[in-house]
Amino acid sequence: DSFSVWSGNCGSDLPAESPLFRAGVVRGFGHIAFNVEDVYAMSAALEAAGVAFQKRPDEGRMKGLAFCLDPDGYWIELVKREEGLFPEPQNLSQTMMRVKDADRTIHFYRDILGMDLVRAMHIPGDFTNYFFANLTPAQREAMADPESAEARAAVKTLWQPVLELTHNHGTEKDDAFHVHTGNSEPLGFGHIGFLVDDLEATCKEMEQAGVPFHKRPQDGGMSSLAFALDPSGYRVELVQRGASFAGVCSNF
C-alpha cells in the first residue's frame, strides 16, 4: 500500500505554492498522449468508467485538451485529431519529456538518432516544445516546415507516435539544473527505445560521436540491447531488430 511511482510532474522547479511542488526533485518525464476524434466524448466515457482526471477538457486555459490519470498516476493527454482519419477510435500519439538544453537535444535526436524535427512550438519567454518523429520518405516529403503554422495539423496526420521534448528556457544556463529521469529515487519513468538494424555498429558510431552509455551490448547478460544516455541523462534503449530474448524472458 505504501508503494507509488513518481509521475514526473511534481518537482521543485515549480513555485512553492503550486499543488505539484515537491522538494528534492526536478520534473522530467511528463506524459504520453492519444489522439482522439472527440476529446469531450472520450473524456466523458472514461470518467463514466471510473478514470480520474488531472484536467477535463472544459477546465483551464486550454479548452478541448484533457489529461486523465492511469492507475499509477501517470498523466495521459487526450488531443483532438481530424475526424475520419483512422478507423481506430484513438492512436498513441506522443511521449513527452522535459529536457535541459534544446540545442544539444536537437542534435542528439535529429543528427545522431536520425529523427525528423516535425514541429517546433515556441512560447516566448517561457518554453518551447519540439516534436520529433521517424518518418518514411513519403511522410517526410509531405511534412510542413516545422516552424510553420501548418506543422501542427501535419503532425496529427501521423499514425506513429512522436517524441515531444519540452525545453523550459534558461535551464541550459544553470549548471546545477538536472531533470530527474525516473531511474533513481523517486522511481517512475524508465526509458524510450529504438529498434536498430545493427546494434554493434550503431553503438560504435554513437560512442565515436561522444554519446555516453549506461549499458553497452557486451555488458551484462543481454547482448541484444544497449542503453545510451541523451544530453539530459534519459536512458535510450537500443534493441537489435529481430532479436529474441528466449532463455532470458520466461514467456519467450
Q: Which of 24, 67, 32 is nearest to 180 (CA)?
A: 24
d(C-alpha 117, C-alpha 150), whole Å: 14
Distance from C-alpha of 99 to C-alpha of 109, rounded to nearest angstrom: 12
What SS3 class is residue 200? Answer: helix
Q: Exposed, middle or buried, 157 (CB in 10 Å: 0-12/13-18/19+)?
A: middle
Q: What is the 3-state secondary structure (H, E, C) of 59-70?
A: CCCCCCCEEEEC
- Count of CB atoms situated within 10 Å of the CB of 96: 19
Whether a cis peptide bond, with omega within 30° of 0, leads into 186 is: yes
Cβ proximity of 241 and 196 under 8 Å: yes
Active site members: 77, 237
